Structure 1
Amino acid sequence: MEFKKNPKLELKKNSTLYFLIGLTAILLFAYVAIEWKTFYETPEFAQNSERLNDIDEVLPPVIIDLPPPPPPKVQAPPVIEIVPDDPDIEDSVIASTETDHTTEIVPIDDIPVIDEPILDEISFIVVEDVPVFPGCENVKTKEGKRACFQEMMQKHIRRNFKYPENAVDMNLQGKVFTQFTIQKDGSIGEVKMRGPHKILEAEAARILSKLPKMTPGKQRGTPVKVPFSIPITFKLQ
């Protein structure tokens, strides 16, 4: 005997529809379960709720009355007191210090002139009459005498210059800065020097010791001391 299936009773015919319906129902159930809220009463909330139920009347609002503002202050005008003049008080007259046509002019001859004291030592640059090196007596101008003095000093150094043998053996060279003072009588004194070695300083001192006597420098016609500085260069060829 052969069994035949009834197409109306076929379960797989609507399987997709049934699957979607089941899936929707599960999602709806899960959503409701997640969103479900449960409230538990605490003892404090129960006590407060009972107290709230006991209050039948509503408390009136609190009203604060502010005091009125103070009245504005009215400033009285200052009282000016008039004091009568005192006849016993004499007004002092302040004399003017400005000159006018009635001011007496003091003659110039009556004004005392105080001469400034002449310094004992004046620099070679600012002294009125520079010392005169022998051979520069015929030069007339001050600038010419200064230039002639420096030129004669260079000639004197070149003429008396001698390189020390010890300095050559020791390979010593450099500049020796010298300074001397032309005294009031024209002699040379107060010789100072500073160089790289004592041998070179000794040679520079020997050269300055051979300087001739000069005509002293003058300030307002009075002989003064005049310091002069010049470097002496020692250089091996």
Structure 2
Amino acid sequence: MVPKKNSRADLSRNSVIYFQIGLIIVLSISYAGLEWNFEHKQNYDLQQVEFTAENSIDVPVTELKQLPPPPPPPPAPEIIEVVQDNLEIKETEIKSTETSQDEKIEVAEVADIRDEEITEEIEDVPFVAIANVPLYPGCENEKDNEAKKKCMSKKIEDFVQREFRTEIGSELGLTGINKIYVVFRINEKGMVSNIQARGPHKALEAEAERVIKLLPPMIPGRQRNHPVGVIYTLPIIFDVKVAI
């Protein structure tokens, strides 16, 4: 049996039409593609940037407000005292201060008036500023005040070097240079008082006070021709050398 072809089933007959339709579709798509607008979005950096704020303090402005004046105090009530007619009132008698020629005036005699001596109190004076320095025994014959100062300082230094117990350094286990500052007062009678010592060890302070108490009596210093207390400062340098 030979198959027969149907004229309607022949596809080659309409190939030109199909080609034209396909070409039209392709051209339409190409045209639409060329005319199409594409939005280009920028790529943003999503990293966060941190700003360090400056440490600044806003100082508020101080405003002075003027307060209204306080209200005036209420008036005090007037107290009216009613005095009875039969009440006796004592009147104050004012005596006259005028004198008459008949009155006698007592006059004190000159011998009865006594002059009281006013003692001038002068505070303690430092040794470097005293007008007339205290006189250590043996310094009386120096010619002027400056020479007497030097003589007194030399006498006190020699006395301390002679009386100070140098073996106290080895007893305490001290080494090197040790400074002791002593301040004392030479009172109006020439006696030593108010001794104060400061040093690296309590035993050194006690030894310095013991030596200063042994100073002999002196002729007191004078300021404006009056005996006064004199403040004397004495630094003591105690050098402990270790034998090799």
* TM-score (norm. length: structure 1): 0.49
Structure showing the higher helix proportion among its residues:
1
